[in-house]
Structure formats: C-alpha cells, structure tokens
Amino acid sequence: MFAIDHAATALVIKRRFPEAPLPLLLVSVQLMELLWVVLNLLGVERVTTEPTVRSVADVHLAYMPWSHSVATMLGAALLVWVGARAAGRPRLGLALALGVASHLLLDLVTHDHDLAWAPGLEGGLGLGLYGAAPMVGFAIELLYGVLCWRIFRGSRALLLVIVGFNLANISFFSAALPGPEELLANRPLAVVLVVLAQIVITLLLVRVLARDSRRKPSNLRTGATVTAPALASTRGNGGGAMNRAPASIGRRAPQGASFLAALLSTVVGTLSNLGCASVDGRTITVRNEVFIQRPAEEVFAYLADFENMPRWNYYVKSVVRTTPGETGLGATFHQVRKDDWQDYRIVEYELPRALTVTTLPPERSLAMRFSLLPASGGTTLVDEWTLDTGLPWPIAGLAVEPIRRAVATNLQKLRELLEVGETLLPDGRTSRR
C-alpha cells in the first residue's frame, strides 16, 4: 500500500485513541517502511526493476525479510507496547502497536507475494494485486483512504490530499498511462528515495491537515474576554468546535495564513523539538502561559486545591488529598487518570506566586510548576512541565509538541472556568466551577 493510505490509517487509530499524539501514530504506521528504507540504503535489503518500468508490477521488492515479515511486525509491535506500558502509558502503547501492525496487514492485501514469515523463512505472502491486478489494488487503496478520512471526520482539505495523492499514483498502477515511474528503470536507489519522499511528505501533510480538522475558529485566545453568551452559543450547536482541540495557548492560530506557512511551521517546530530532550535523552520540558482575568490570589487558591483538577483537565478522573490538615507545602495527593494513577507532593508553595508538585515513586519523574504573575486586569499563569518520558531521545523529542498542546488545552479550560464559571471539556462534558 502506498504512503498516503498508510498515513490515513493513523487517522483511524487517532479517532479510537484521541489521547495518543498524532505524530507518534504517523511514525508507527510507517515504522516498517522507514526500516525498509534504511536497510536498502545499507545494502541489507534490495529492490530490482524490469529494464522498462511501466507500472508497479515492474518494480520488485526482491529481498526484505527484516523489514517486512510477520515476525518483525509482531516483535516491533510488542516492543512498542511493552515500552509504553513501562512508561505508564498502556493505551498509548496499544495505539502505537496497532499502528506498527497495520502496515504489514495492509501490505498483505496488495503486495506481490514478497512478504516473509520471518528472516530466513520466506513465505511468499501477499495477495499479489500489484502484479496480477494493479488497478484493482489502486481502487482498494483509494477507497480505503477515503474510508479512513470518513471515520476520522476530517476536513475537505485533508480529503483532497488523500484523494490527490492516490490519483497522483495512478500511472504506477496502469501500464497504459505514462508517468514518472519510467525513470525508475534500473535505478533501485531512486525507488527507495521516491518512497522515502512520499513517506515524509504525506506524513507532514496529514499531520498539518488533521490538526486543522480539529481546530475550531475560536474567539478564545490568550488575553481575550469570554462572555457567557459566547460560551452558550458554542454549546447551542452540540458542542461544535469547542469539543475539538483548540489552537495553542500563547500564540494565535495561523488563520488566513497560507498552507505553505503552516507546513513550514510544522517542519521547523518538529526539528526544534527534537533538541528539547535533556542530556540523558529522556527528559523534556514544555512551557505554556495564559492570561486569566482574575486576581492572582483567586487563581492560586483554585490551582492549589488539586481536587479541582478534574474540572479543567478532562484526562483526570479524580484527585484526593492524602495528608490531613490544610493544603500547603508537603501536602500529598492521589490522582486517578483515564488509564493510570499517580501520587504527587507539593514541593513549592509561595502564595500567590509559585506552586510546584512532583510525582512520587514509583512513577516516572514529573515536576509541574505554576508561576503566577499579577498584571493589569488579571494574572499571567505560566505552566512549566519537566517530564522523564522514559523514551529514547528521538521519540521523546517528537512527544514535546503534542504534550505542550494538550497542556495548553487544559489551561484554556481552566481560564474559561475561572472567568465564565463553566467550560466544555474535550470529551464533551460540561464542567462548572
């Protein structure tokens, strides 16, 4: 299956696991193909072509038992699941494991008997559509991509990209249609680089347009006043856009900006985030800020009572103080989230300017610091997280932006709650102060 439809698979998984970062899902569905690219560049696996290439039937994935075998798929999926579970994210592990496994399962439908059971155990797996009936394979891939878009409920722009990339590949499926595949004859390295280019471009496009599909045309921006009628109007159409992920707090959404600018922003942001890991390669830091039109004392008091957290963080189900007496320095809390739990302690309590909590063992280290800066008409709240992800450096770097945006969403809900008295959480629940 071609790159765009593997990328579309991540949309279906995202729909089922909304808390899973889309960039990680997009990497997971192409993990086996990225391994294939690397192994071909190293000469471990190989591609061959006919003297004349007129369709995908003339390109032969001659040897790829390491990247495209049932054993590799099962092993990689299991490794991803175990790693995420060890990091305290079992649902994320399941989502990523499904992404890894989906690649070979989809390839089985279209590939030309070139998939193996395991290295050294050739199986000739694959229905063979690329060789015997390539246009049937094309129709299946196109319909599959549209179905993924439908399940995800994406934007028209996202649909155009999915359909457009499928149509752009049509000459690869029909020998009667001339196309750029003719240039691939006797150039196996060119085949590998074309595949790599398609992977990168489609992942970036799907990443950008899937995010735009979930972005609402919001009047809730940093420093903006939200009135009760405005909030009510968003509920009046079934929660509408408020139930989708909002634009990041602390910066305006690029409304009216060109698609190229949005794409460039994503590329630059991803590359810069790769450097956000600490020296040991596992710790990341994310920072958000929001202006709340309430006095610092009021904001601090609401934050310091962590039993309020489920009202503005949809992922938290309950928080209970586990130490007697008043909330203050040294107080501990037990927090139950959707798929795990945590214990943490207040390690900094400076009314009304600073509040810090850290998780307690055996949980992975997380320090969450709130800084409150009194300003004219309200308070600037700065929320800084320092998190040991337990993940290797490249994956930890990719996690930075999704985590930052998730925290930004929670801060926006906190602001609505304090300014308006109620908010609509991303899971559809109405929360009141």
**Would 183 be classed as within a structural domain?**
yes
For 261-275, 303-317, 418-432, which range has the lowest pLDDT when averaged over its residues?
Answer: 261-275
For residues 33 and 132, membership in a common domain is answered with yes
**Would 220 be classed as within a structural domain?**
no
- Whether 404 shows a pLDDT value over 90: the answer reads no
**Would 311 be classed as within a structural domain?**
yes
Query: How many domains, the chain?
Result: 2
**Would 222 be classed as within a structural domain?**
no
Over residues 307-331, mean pLDDT: 93
Phi, psi of 104 (to 5 degrees): -70, -35
Which of 159, 188, 214 is a domain's end point?
A: 214
For residues 146 and 252, membership in a common domain is answered with no
User: Distance from CA of residue 186 to its chain's centroid?
Assistant: 38
For residues 194 and 234, membership in a common domain is answered with no
DSSP string, 61-97: EEE-TTTSBHHHHHHHHHHHHHHHHHTT-HHHHHHHH
For residues 140 and 205, membership in a common domain is answered with yes
Summarize pLDDT for 155-180 with one digit per residue, the tens. Answer: 889 999 999 999 998 888 888 888 88
DSSP string, 288-300: EEEEESS-HHHHH
* Spatial contact of 291 and 378, defined as CB atoms under 8 Å apart: yes
For residues 335 and 242, membership in a common domain is answered with yes
Residues across the chain: 433
In the chain, % of residues over pLDDT 70: 82
- Whether 270 shows a pLDDT value over 50: the answer reads no
For 36-50, 215-229, 361-375, 407-421, which range has the lowest pLDDT when averaged over its residues?
Answer: 215-229
Over residues 84-104, mean pLDDT: 92
For residues 347 and 287, membership in a common domain is answered with yes
Over residues 277-301, mean pLDDT: 81
DSSP class of 241: G
pLDDT, mean over the chain: 82
For residues 240 and 174, membership in a common domain is answered with no
d(CA 93, CA 401): 18
**Would 39 be classed as within a structural domain?**
yes
d(CA 141, CA 3): 10
**Would 120 be classed as within a structural domain?**
yes
**Would 333 be classed as within a structural domain?**
yes
Torsion angle, CA of 105/108/109/112, rounded to 10 degrees? 160
For residues 205 and 247, membership in a common domain is answered with no
Residues 6+ apart with CB under 8 A from 268: none
For residues 136 and 246, membership in a common domain is answered with no
Over residues 54-75, mean pLDDT: 90
**Would 317 be classed as within a structural domain?**
yes
Which of 185, 214, 243 is a domain's end point?
A: 214
- Please report which confidence band the pLDDT of residue 55 belongs to, taking 50, 70 and 90 as the band edges: confident
For residues 245 and 202, membership in a common domain is answered with no
For residues 138 and 279, membership in a common domain is answered with no
> Bridge-partner residues for 60, per DSSP?
48
pLDDT at 250: 36
Residues 6+ apart with CB under 8 A from 391: 83, 87, 282, 399
- Whether 382 shows a pLDDT value over 50: the answer reads yes
Alpha carbon distances (Å) from 394 to 156, 275, 363, 411: 32, 9, 22, 27
pLDDT at 367: 94
pLDDT at 30: 95
* Spatial contact of 100 and 107, defined as CB atoms under 8 Å apart: no
- Please report which confidence band the pLDDT of residue 392 belongs to, taking 50, 70 and 90 as the band edges: low
For 18-32, 128-142, 226-240, which range has the lowest pLDDT when averaged over its residues?
Answer: 226-240
Q: Judging by DSSP bridges, how do beta strands 332-337 and 316-321 pair with one another?
A: antiparallel
Residues 6+ apart with CB under 8 A from 366: 342, 344, 358, 359, 385, 386, 387, 388
372: its two tokens? 């409150």
What CATH number is given to the structural domain containing 243? 3.30.530.20
pLDDT at 21: 92
For residues 126 and 101, membership in a common domain is answered with yes
pLDDT at 243: 34
Structural domain span for residue 420: 228-432
In the sheet that 332-337 helps form, which strands lie side by side, from edge to edge? Answer: 283-292, 378-388, 366-375, 354-359, 341-350, 332-337, 316-321
- Whether 218 shows a pLDDT value over 60: the answer reads no
Residues 6+ apart with CB under 8 A from 212: 155, 157, 158, 262
Which of 162, 180, 214 is a domain's end point?
A: 214
